[in-house]
Amino acid sequence: MIKIKNSKNSAVMAVGLVLTILISNLGSFSESGKTLDHLRERVLRLHILANSDSDYDQSIKLKVRDAVLDADFFGGAENLREAEETAKENLSEIAETAQKILHENGVNQPVSVKLDNMYFEKRVYGDITMPAGDYETVRIEIGKAEGHNWWCVMYPPLCVPMASEVTDDKSAEEKFFSEEELDILYKPEKYEIKFAIWDTIKSLIDKF
């Protein structure tokens, strides 16, 4: 009986300690969390899903990627709202661009393009790591869309096509993101616990 009591007391003390730490760092959690939310709300992602994981279908996906990036559909946008409006206006043209690539390569598959709000796990792109969360996304589905996907950030314009490769634009990163946001993108390990707690708190609040 004594052992059970001590075990319960230890658990209570542990919970109390955790709560004390959380309360004492509430300001830090809140500041980092708001910066995270601001970052998520300023980004438009591009998400391309291949028909399958066959080498050929994956190569077609990359050809579609190159064609869409070369078309520079979002180059003139000055903020996320403009980028979203541009995306809406050009959905059919983006689909036609992708469909043209399929036809040129003898592929008879449908292409679906839509603007959606999607949840992404943490993803690494170049030297930056985009935190997990919900993002506005231009989603291109090729055929059955059952293959591995390719993604990047369309706004701010971080995707730079170079020959058959795509790299991240360092100057765009520094221009569009604040120092606090860049720290999140370059040093994600510093914020993982804070962001997990922040998102958990928000999800609990949303339930009430």
Parse the chain into domains and list their residue ranges: 41-181
Helix axis angle, 26-40 to 192-206, nearest 10°: 80
Average model confidence (pLDDT) across the chain:
83
Instruction: Say which amino acid occupies 171.
Output: S
pTM above 0.75, yes or no: yes
Residue 207: pLDDT above 70? no
Average pLDDT rounded to a whole number, residues 65-75? 85
Residue 108: pLDDT above 90? yes
Residue 146: pLDDT above 60? yes
**Torsion angles phi and psi, residue 166, rounded to 5:** -130, 130
Q: How far apart are CA 1 and CA 41, in angstroms?
A: 54
With bands split at pLDDT 50, 70 and 90, how would you rate the model's confidence at 22? low
Q: Write down the pLDDT at residue 131.
A: 92
Q: How far apart are CA 179 and CA 17, in angstroms?
A: 32
Residue 162: pLDDT above 60? no
Q: How far apart are CA 193 and CA 199, in angstroms?
A: 10
Average pLDDT rounded to a whole number, residues 168-190? 87
Q: Write down the pLDDT at residue 2.
A: 44
**Closest to 37 measured CA to CA, from 156, 152, 181:** 181
With a pLDDT cut of 90, the percent of the chain lying above it is: 45
